[in-house]
Amino acid sequence: MIIHVVKPGETLWQISNFYGVPLAETISANQLPNPNQLLIGQAIIIPKDGITYVVQPGETLWMIAQRFNTTIDVILRNNDIANPDVIFPGMRILIPTPLYQVMPGDTLLGIANRFGVSLQSLIDANNIENPDLIFPGMVLVIPIKIRPLIDVNGFIYRLGQQAAPIITEVGQFLTYVAPFAYLIREDGTLEPIDDTAAINAAINVNAVPMMAITNFTSTHLGENLAHVVLNDLAIQNVLLNNIVNIMNQKGYKGLNVDFENVLPIDRVPYNEFMQRTVDKLHPLGYFVSSSLAPKVSADQPGLLYEAHDYAAHGRIADFVVLMTYEWGYRLGPPRAISPINLIRQVLDYAVTAIPRNKIFFGFQTYARDWVLPHVQGQQARTFSVQEAIRLGVRYGAIIQYDELAQSPFFRYRNENGVQHEVWFEDPRSAQAKFDTVKDYGLAGISYWALGYPFPQNWTLLGDNFTVRKI
């Protein structure tokens, strides 16, 4: 895929024509709220195959073109490079999928060896029925893109019948679906949720239903509730029996434990509860995961962090979800919700304490709108990426991009003269997150939350990864 940033005066037809892609394919890949209204600075996915190459020290465009059997002109036409003589280490360049014209004496095996690809991938990429029947002049696509295999989880809190179409729409990209969430009570019972439609929809798209339990709500931190449960074995036994009964009854295959704001004094009891949960559920054939706050060190202070023991959860749980979002908190000042520079600091620590093949990267799919000037505690509005674009179109906003956070944002003034600031996700920020998952060799991605339309994300996800189905 190519990511194009809209310039003043450009139309979607002009952009598609420039890249040689049918307009209908560009519209389909992006599902734009209004294809006839683009914003300056808006990122558009161009559905064209290729790879993203990171420039190495000392390289020139000519050297890169030779390496990938293409030309400088082709690279320039597919990248927004102002000066072809000025490229720099770390710069990302899209290389369109190379083509090769068969020469006399060529064999498929010889061509595969020449480009360092497998014979089978070459056969598959060109739909070749008989590998012995190739001929001079025949043009072959060289399949140089490798899509890592990952797991993908989607939390969903829009439950009841409204959950089914949400899960069905993106189900091909999901390994797990986790309806959120069963709230624990002080006596070990659980508040029921309407999760039947979500579970059935998950099963219908071959995604694994994962039960989620928690101790907090939007109005209660839950620290005292967790303290009561984590320090009473009798209550824990009741809780675990209730969990097993619900899982058996409803068809869940695993459990996610999302205890937040746990008191620092309950760090060890929380670890012991996780071990007790695994000891109970593993013999019954269930897996256990947990959700952890984004820490940058083992001893990071704060109610969110101190009781979340990365090393212990990494050892005990089958996998962990790192909640790498909410820096742009709804009650805090406007900022990137998931800044990649801060996420990388979390991952730098996480991979020292948790096996990489157990780490799920937390990916938020929503936008936020803050009123300016910000008043501490004033709540930002949360909505979808699609709605953010519609809002920008309505007020003629110019989208800016924070290169450090790898996140887009814009400002606008409404009809009453009140200024707003909106932070959201787009193809550039999504690709930055996918690149990070690859760079750190992580096991998967966990979305918070399904139900906020962001079609470009799923297009790019499928272009970057193969999603495991169990």
Q: Which of 195, 196, 199 is nearest to 209 (CA)?
A: 199
Cβ neighbours of residue 415 under 8 Å, at least 6 residues apart?
A: none
- Helix H or strand E encompassing 444: strand 444-448
* Amino acid, single-letter form, for residue 152: V
Number of Cα atoms under 13 Å in the Cβ half of residue 421? 18
Q: Residues 459, 29: contact at Cβ < 8 Å?
A: yes
Q: Count the neighbouring beta carbons within 10 Å of the beta carbon of residue 231.
A: 15
Q: Which of 260, 387, 421, 425 is catalytic?
A: 260
- DSSP for 401-428, please give it: EETTTTEEEEEEE-TTS-EEEEE---HH
Q: Give the Cα separation of 13 and 11 in Å (integer).
A: 5
Hey, what long-range contacts does 240-246 have (CB within 8 A, 24 or more apart)? 240/276, 240/277, 240/280, 240/281, 241/188, 242/188, 242/189, 242/190, 243/182, 243/190, 243/211, 243/213, 243/277, 243/281, 244/280, 244/281, 244/284, 244/286, 246/182, 246/190, 246/211
Q: Residues 229, 243: contact at Cβ < 8 Å?
A: no
Hey, what long-range contacts does 70-75 have (CB within 8 A, 24 or more apart)? 70/95, 70/96, 70/98
Q: Which of 370, 410, 456 is nearest to 41 (CA)?
A: 410
Q: Give the Cα separation of 199 and 206 in Å (integer).
A: 11
C-alpha distances (whole Å) from 418 to each of 22, 239, 373, 421 are 40, 49, 9, 10
Q: Which of 391, 393, 428, 397 is nearest to 410 (CA)?
A: 397
User: Is 403 marked active-site?
Assistant: no
Q: Residues 371, 378: contact at Cβ < 8 Å?
A: yes
Active site residues: 260
